[in-house]
């Protein structure tokens, strides 16, 4: 530095002082620059040079500075490198498409797009050209093959793809491959990008959109993937026509849009819109709930969030994360709340059980939500449990937040999530209890239909304890990517069983499903929220009505989670009121797991099994036992996962009790053999009143049963009318509890007086418990 400013040749004292002043100013300037660079950066400006979508040039620079200092990011990068090094050593395989989901060619093409995406990122971060060469060589093979292909040879989908049996998977390929292409775009010579754009990518985008409008131009998770695939490759190629097509859908000038598809979707949404923005407007409620259910919300969140990140980087003027009052960021919170204690999604509508927020798509979605949202420290605790991050700026921010110990617990509490574009088409209600030893979650569904993945099960519920299903929803009938099971696609039993009303814990009238199982009718209707009140943690209430599932019949279900000081765990009150214009047979099933301990009635078992019915799902239930209740209160007890559970219900002496098991008329053994307890009643106006109680445990080592008997002695209906319903719960401690709900006034300010059996009950609000 001294030599640079010429001190060595200076003898004049004034000149020396001046030069010292210059040196001091220079040092102060350098220090100021360093301090400024340590502050939070303002939003980066993305240049036209690549990469500039998901992984950007600025992000690459920031990542390189932090390598070796961010444990989760470093571990994720190391694992990706190990995987791709093995893939490179194995060689490139681009087979001619042939198989359904789970087959060799299907699996190989999936591996290819995943490997290319990771290899592109590794090239940018590590600077090793072997990863770029791997992506380039594979893309050239795809470009050579693509013009030779017709639609996939498997004719199973309403929208057959090229590389895969359905366009949905082709869109997966293009979403991931676009990211890889962006990472090597500037590395490739122009003649190669021109060749790939002309031969592979633009034709592929046109195929997924203009050539397959029934897939692209609809409101559905499928079309979201299609929109994003076309939009991302449009951003890579700076093809604004494709980007506009992705955002707003096809126009009438693009293609004939008069034909409809037969998979439960539709051309345009009800407001005449299609494209990515329409898929944000319609399926998402203002609370971030996705009408198809959490399983498909999880699946759709990756394309939603990855395209949003690309748009934020490339087209920040759209302010996509502010769209619809920030619905994408709300959706991430909603989705995390739709999980049990183990992070597994509640199986509402079509849902494969066991899917959880540990899936890779949710790693990316969570990272993006954290980075582009308010950087909530609660999200970091979920990311820490996931133990991996997305290899971009969002993943780096999450990894640094975890490293710097900014994470706070994501505590799932009681919550109601509205359904419908405007939040006025019912909801999902969740009541939760948490303490140091136990968590319980009660989930009630009073939503809209849920598009093509919806089930006919209005006012159904499921119950969880510490992540274990106590009373279950079946979920879907499919073995995803298991080729032996219908090529990994949906099984016919999804329609004949899983979507049927009898497959769920809700009322079935005359063995006919809600809305007669008709999609168009179901789509026009939704349940109505009546009450959701969790202001008292010890008495949490949710209540909803369904007046369209059956003509002339109104259904009203109220569910309450009660925590009594004297009882270790909460219990659940289930009041299901039915009011019809004539007498019907009503079935109310409870699908449990485990071994019956006490059935509570004189069960008659047949010498040979027969199906419970001939259609609408009843044909799949074996009738294992039946009998009359012969009492006004019946108690059914079972043991599951070393814990006891009791179901105490107010019955009529002529009620039929059925014990059933799934598996009838199932020649391919596609269904699980789950048991059910069913209350059958013939009535015009009635109420099913039940208390569900977890109690005690069994230790097979000590062979000791603690609390094997329920603390509930008896449940009785005290009163039932259009205005009020009341039940009493007698405890074995000789105490009695009474619960009353107002059936026609949901105001929390209304005052009520009800006289029952000489007792006068007076209260303010929607319900009474004491």
- Three-state secondary structure along 237-285? HCCHHHHHHHHHCCCCCCCCCCCCCCCCCCECCCCCCCCHHHHHHCCEC
Tell me if 269 is assigned to some domain: yes
Q: What is the pLDDT of residues 346-401, one digit of tens each?
A: 999 999 999 999 999 999 999 999 999 999 999 999 999 999 999 999 999 999 99
User: Please, what's the b/e burial string for 185-207 (b: 16 or more CB within 10 A of its CB; e: otherwise)?
Assistant: bebbeeebbeebbebbbbbbbeb
- pLDDT tops 90 at residue 251: no
Whether the CB-CB separation of 161 and 151 falls below 8 Å is answered with: yes
Q: Which of 475, 463, 474 is nearest to 643 (CA)?
A: 463
Give the helix/strand (H/E) hosting 76: helix 71-90
- Asked, for residue 140, whether it belongs to a domain, the answer is yes
61, HSE (Cβ side, Cα atoms, 13 Å): 6
Which residues partner with 546 through β-bridges? 555
Quickly state the pLDDT bin for 8 (edges 50, 70, 90). Answer: very low
For residue 11, CA distances in Å to 3, 7, 16, 17, 209 come to: 14, 8, 7, 11, 78
CATH of the domain at 657: 2.70.98.70
Q: Identify which of 325, 334, 275 has the alpha carbon closest to the alpha carbon of residue 301.
A: 334
Q: Are residues 461 and 542 in the same domain?
A: yes
Closest CA to 558 of 337, 338, 767: 767
DSSP-derived letter for residue 72 is H
Q: Using the Cα atoms of residue 708, residue 713, residue 718 and residue 724 in order, give the sign of their dihedral.
A: negative
Distance CA 451, CA 180 (A): 33
What residues form DSSP beta bridges with 758? Answer: none
Strand partners, 611: 622
Looking at residue 27, its pLDDT comes to: 40
Residue 10 has pLDDT above 50, yes or no: no
Considering the domain architecture, whether residues 30 and 104 belong to the same structural domain is answered as no
What is the mean predicted confidence (pLDDT) over 230-245? 97
Q: Identify whether the C-beta of residue 426 lies closer than 8 Å to the C-beta of residue 448.
A: yes
* Residue 24 clears pLDDT 50, i.e. is over it: no
**pLDDT at res. 259:** 52
Average pLDDT of the segment spanning 530-537 = 97
Kindly state whether residues 207 and 122 are assigned to the same domain: yes
Instruction: Let me know whether 658 and 541 are in one domain.
Output: yes
Per-residue confidence (pLDDT) for residue 262, from 0 to 100:
43
The verdict on 441 and 517 lying in the same domain is: yes
Residue of 153, 166, 169, 238 whose CA lies nearest to 201: 238
Residues 16 and 105 in one domain: no
Integer CA distances (angstroms), 257 to 215, 260, 270, 309, 368, in order: 11, 8, 14, 30, 35
Same domain assignment for residues 96 and 30:
no
DSSP 25: H
3-state SS of the chain: helix, strand, coil percent to 5? 35, 25, 40
Residues 16 and 114 in one domain: no
Q: Same structural domain for residues 18 and 160?
A: no
State the pLDDT confidence band at 271, using cuts at 50, 70 and 90: low
Nearest to 590 by CA among 715, 695, 500, 678: 678
Catalytic residue, candidates 152, 453, 526, 556? 453
689 in a domain, yes or no?
A: yes
Query: Could you tell me if residue 12 is inside a domain?
Result: yes
- pLDDT band at residue 236 using 50, 70 and 90 as cut-offs: very high
Residue 489 has pLDDT above 80, yes or no: yes
Residue 43 has pLDDT above 60, yes or no: no
Q: Can you tell me the distance from the alpha carbon of 737 to that of 721, in angstroms, rounded to the nearest whole number? A: 20
Asked which of 254, 282, 310 is the last residue of a domain, the reply is 282
* Last residue within a domain, chosen from 712, 737, 761: 712
Is position 411 within any domain?
no
Task: Tell me which H or E stretch contains 83.
Answer: helix 71-90
Beta bridge partners of 731: 712
Nearest to 290 by CA among 224, 353, 380: 224
Range of the domain at 201: 92-282
Average of per-residue pLDDT across 571-596: 98
Query: pLDDT tens across 699-755, in order?
Result: 999 999 999 999 999 999 999 999 999 999 999 999 999 999 999 999 999 999 999
Q: Is residue 45 part of a domain?
A: no
What pLDDT, on a 0 to 100 scale, did the predictor assign at position 436? 75
Predicted pLDDT at 256? 64
Which of residues 712, 745, 764 is at a domain's end? 712
pLDDT tens per residue across span 464-487? 999 999 999 999 999 998 989 998
Task: Give the mean pLDDT of the chain.
Answer: 92
Answer whether residue 14 shows pLDDT above 60. no
Are residues 660 and 551 located together in one domain of the fold? Answer: yes
- Phi, psi dihedrals of residue 31, rounded to the nearest 5°: -60, -45
453 catalytic residue (yes or no) = yes
- The pLDDT confidence band at residue 45, using thresholds 50, 70 and 90, is very low
pLDDT digits (tens, 9 = 90+) for 669-681: 999 999 999 999 9
Residue 743: both structure tokens together:
């059936």
pLDDT over 90, % of the chain: 89
Residues 564, 423 share a domain: yes
The pLDDT score that the predictor gives to residue 35 is 39
How high is the pLDDT of residue 273? 83
Q: Is residue 178 one of the residues assigned to a domain? A: yes
Is there a catalytic annotation at residue 296? yes
Supply the pLDDT for residue 275. Answer: 96
Whether 497 and 473 have beta carbons less than 8 Å apart is answered as: no
pLDDT greater than 80 at residue 17: no
Quickly state the pLDDT bin for 253 (edges 50, 70, 90): confident
> Residue 296 falls within a domain, yes or no?
no
State the total domains in the chain: 3
CATH number at residue 229: 1.50.10.100
Q: What is the 3-state secondary structure (H, E, C) of 395-436?
A: HHHHHHHHHCCCCCCCCCCCEEEECCCCCCCCEEEEEEEECC
Query: Higher pLDDT residue, 6 or 496?
Result: 496
What pLDDT digit, counting tens, does each position of 633-686 carry?
A: 999 999 999 999 999 999 999 999 999 999 999 999 999 999 999 999 999 999
| CA 544/CA 496 separation, integer angstroms | 27
Q: What integer pLDDT is reported at residue 40 of this predicted model? A: 33
Closest CA to 412 of 297, 333, 330: 333
Same domain, 663 and 535: yes
- On the 0-12 / 13-18 / 19+ scale of CB atoms within 10 A, 209 is buried
**What confidence score (pLDDT) does residue 252 get?**
76
Q: How confident is the model at residue 345 (pLDDT cuts 50, 70, 90)?
A: very high
Catalytic residue among 113, 142, 290, 296: 296
């Amino acid at each position: 530095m001294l030599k640079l400013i010429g001190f060595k040749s200076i003898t004049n004292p004034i000149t020396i002082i001046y030069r010292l002043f210059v040196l001091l100013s220079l040092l102060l300037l350098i220090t100021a620059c360093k301090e400024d660079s340590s502050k939070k950066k303002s939003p980066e400006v993305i240049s036209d040079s690549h990469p500039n979508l998901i992984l950007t040039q600025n992000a690459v620079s920031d990542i390189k500075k932090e390598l070796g200092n961010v444990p989760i990011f470093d571990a994720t990068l190391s694992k990706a490198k190990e995987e791709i090094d093995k893939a490179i050593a194995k060689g490139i395989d681009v087979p001619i498409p042939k198989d359904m989901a789970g087959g060799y060619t299907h699996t190989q093409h999936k591996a290819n797009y995943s490997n290319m995406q990771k290899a592109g990122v590794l090239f940018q971060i590590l600077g090793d050209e072997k990863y770029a060469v791997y992506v380039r060589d594979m893309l050239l093979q795809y470009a050579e093959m693509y013009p030779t292909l017709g639609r996939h040879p498997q004719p199973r989908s309403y929208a057959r793809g090229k590389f895969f049996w359905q366009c949905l998977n082709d869109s997966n390929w293009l979403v991931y491959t676009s990211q890889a292409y962006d990472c090597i775009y500037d590395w490739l010579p122009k003649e190669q990008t021109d060749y790939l754009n002309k031969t592979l990518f633009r034709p592929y985008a046109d195929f997924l959109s203009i050539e397959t409008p029934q897939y692209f131009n609809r409101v559905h998770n499928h079309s979201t993937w299609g929109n994003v695939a076309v939009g991302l490759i449009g951003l890579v190629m700076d093809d604004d026509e494709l980007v506009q097509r992705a955002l707003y859908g096809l126009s009438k000038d693009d293609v004939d849009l008069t034909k409809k598809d037969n998979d439960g979707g539709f051309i345009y949404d009800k407001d005449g819109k299609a494209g990515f923005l329409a898929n944000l407007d319609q399926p998402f409620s203002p609370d971030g709930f996705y009408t198809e259910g959490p399983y498909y919300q999880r699946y759709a969140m990756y394309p939603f969030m990855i395209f949003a990140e690309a748009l934020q980087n490339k087209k920040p003027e759209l302010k996509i994360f502010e769209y619809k009052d920030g619905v994408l960021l709300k959706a991430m919170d909603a989705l995390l709340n739709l999980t049990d204690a183990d992070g597994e999604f509640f199986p509402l509508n079509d849902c494969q059980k066991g899917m959880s927020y540990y899936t890779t798509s949710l790693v990316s979605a969570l990272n993006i939500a954290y980075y582009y949202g308010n950087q909530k420290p609660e999200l970091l605790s979920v990311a820490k449990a996931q133990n991996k991050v997305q290899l971009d700026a969002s993943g780096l921010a999450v990894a640094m937040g975890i490293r710097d110990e900014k994470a706070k617990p994501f505590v799932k509490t009681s919550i109601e999530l509205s359904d419908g574009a405007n939040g006025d088409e019912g909801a999902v209600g969740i009541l939760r209890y948490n303490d140091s030893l136990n968590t319980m979650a009660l989930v009630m569904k009073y939503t809209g239909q849920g598009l093509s993945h919806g089930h006919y099960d209005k006012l159904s519920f499921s119950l969880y304890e510490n992540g274990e299903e106590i009373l279950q929803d079946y979920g879907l009938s499919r073995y995803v990517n298991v080729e032996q099971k219908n090529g990994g696609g949906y099984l016919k039993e999804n329609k004949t069983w899983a979507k049927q009303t009898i497959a769920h814990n809700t009322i079935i009238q005359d063995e006919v499903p809600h809305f007669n199982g008709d999609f168009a009718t179901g789509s026009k209707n939704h349940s109505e929220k009546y009450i959701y009140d969790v202001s008292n943690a010890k008495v949490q209430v949710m209540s909803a009505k369904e007046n369209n599932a059956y003509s002339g019949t109104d259904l009203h279900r109220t569910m309450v989670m009660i925590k009594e000081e004297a009882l270790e765990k909460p219990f659940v009150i289930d009041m299901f009121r039915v009011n019809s214009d004539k007498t019907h047979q009503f079935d109310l099933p409870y699908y449990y797991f485990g071994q019956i301990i006490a059935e509570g009635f004189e069960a008659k078992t047949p010498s040979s099994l027969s199906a419970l019915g001939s259609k609408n799902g009843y044909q799949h239930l074996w009738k294992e036992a039946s009998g009359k209740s012969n009492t006004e209160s019946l108690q059914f007890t079972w043991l599951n996962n070393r814990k006891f559970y009791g179901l105490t219900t107010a019955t009529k002496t002529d009620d039929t009790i059925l014990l059933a098991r799934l598996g009838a008329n199932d020649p391919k053994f596609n269904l699980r053999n789950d048991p059910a307890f069913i209350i059958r009643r013939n009535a015009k106006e009635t109420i099913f009143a039940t208390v569900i109680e977890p109690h005690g445990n069994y230790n097979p080592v000590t062979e000791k049963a603690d609390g094997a008997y329920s603390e509930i002695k008896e449940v009785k209906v005290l009163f039932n009318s259009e205005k009020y319903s009341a039940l009493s719960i007698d405890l074995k401690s000789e105490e009695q509890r009474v619960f009353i709900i107002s059936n026609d006034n949901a105001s929390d300010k209304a005052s009520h007086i009800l006289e029952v059996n000489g007792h006068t009950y007076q209260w303010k609000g929607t319900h009474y418990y004491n």
